[in-house]
Amino acid sequence: MTAPVRLETRADEQPVVDTPTTGGTRPAPRRRRRPSPGWLYVAPALAVFAVFVAYPIVATIRSSFYDYDGISPVRQWVGLENYREMLGGLDPYFWKAVTNTLLWTVVTVPAQLLIGLGLAVLLDGALRGRVVYRTVFFMPAVLSSAVIAFAWGWIFNPDEGVATRVLRAAGGSGQAWLADPGTAIWAAFGVSAWRYSGLFMLFYLAAIQMIPRDLYESARIDGASWWQRARRITVPQVRPMTVLLTLFGVIGAFREFEVVYILTRGGPAHATDLLSIQIFDQAFDLSRPGYAAAIATALLALTAVCAVVLLRLISWANRSVE
């Protein structure tokens, strides 16, 4: 009698045929399992990740437990002292920078999403010259930060800036946008929204063009208005892209540095201080890389929490569209 053939399968292995044996004969040799070469394929990427991501993160966290000036080789272990100073109110500007960074995120990211989506919806139609418009709106995203900062610095110039002149022409007395703590951060928000909305528009355009056209046709036949079609079809269908762009936007907002630094240097009176600027100032102006590393670690934790939440949202958004 012959026993049935049994197939053993592991998730990561080839099926193994277990041949039945008869009395007195040696069991047939198992076929040699070939290991998956997958890990070999990813090994270079892992090595790059280890050197350029994992190591700097570990080194930064480690540095945050030291007090040193970044010049002398002497490093003094201070344990959690940098964190105590940072979180315990001894640094008067840390919490201001945290507030500004969060404010930056909750203001600029929705603004970029809304403007980007609005532009995409407008430019998805049969608008004359839409390619030109798309190029114009996208252009700020490819300009260098320094160029943007200097250009907007001139626009906001309190004497001869375009923004000042427009206000004057409208009967106002001009506004020192970047000199007033009340307006400086909003001016910087505006620059950020202007810069990235075109990029978001491009992503949204791609997402909108993936929406089946028959959905719009059906809605049109049912008498849905343009606004209803946008609200009931476009917005839900691009939800995965919205969440993805939110993730990009939040990470970008936490990393924002160059434009604000050149535009205001975190001033006036720390009104536009962001965590990234604090890190730079502490490390390079005040020669306190250990303390800067503590702030960087806090920023890393903040970014990681937001990323995890947003990645879960992306899964949810994908499921909801499916």
Contacting residues toward other proteins, per CB under 8 A = 12, 32-36, 38-40, 43, 46-47, 49-51, 54-55, 58-59, 62, 69-77, 92-93, 156-159, 174, 176-181, 184, 264-265, 267-271, 281, 284-287
CB of 230 to other proteins, least distance (A): 40
Closer CB to other proteins, 54 or 80, in the complex: 54
- At residue 272, the 3 state secondary structure works out as coil
CB of 177 to other proteins, least distance (A): 7
CB of 274 to other proteins, least distance (A): 16
- Cβ atoms within 10 Å, residue 180: 15
DSSP 26: P
Strands 76-77 and 6-8, how do they pair? unpaired
- The backbone torsions φ and ψ at residue 101, rounded to the nearest 5 degrees and listed phi first, read -65, -45
Buried b (16+ CB within 10 A) or exposed e, 98-112: bebbeebbebbbebb
- CA dist 195 and 48 (Å) reads 31
Closer CB to other proteins, 81 or 256, in the complex: 81
Task: Report in angstroms the alpha-carbon separations of 296 from 239, 246, 302.
Answer: 31, 22, 10
Closer CB to other proteins, 140 or 267, in the complex: 267
CB of 144 to other proteins, least distance (A): 16
Closer CB to other proteins, 24 or 27, in the complex: 27
Spatial neighbors of 130 by CB under 8 A, at least 6 apart, are 123
- Cβ atoms within 10 Å, residue 90: 10
Spatial neighbors of 178 by CB under 8 A, at least 6 apart, are 153, 156, 158, 184, 187, 263, 264, 268
Closer CB to other proteins, 197 or 276, in the complex: 276
Closer CB to other proteins, 134 or 270, in the complex: 270
**What number of residues does the chain have?**
322
Cis amide leading into 29 (omega within 30): no
- The backbone torsions φ and ψ at residue 77, rounded to the nearest 5 degrees and listed phi first, read -70, 125
CB of 85 to other proteins, least distance (A): 10
Closer CB to other proteins, 284 or 316, in the complex: 284
CB of 267 to other proteins, least distance (A): 6
β-bridge mates for residue 16, sequence order:
8
CB of 93 to other proteins, least distance (A): 7
Closer CB to other proteins, 269 or 321, in the complex: 269
C-alpha atoms less than 13 angstroms from C-alpha of 308 in its C-beta half-sphere? 5
CB of 246 to other proteins, least distance (A): 31
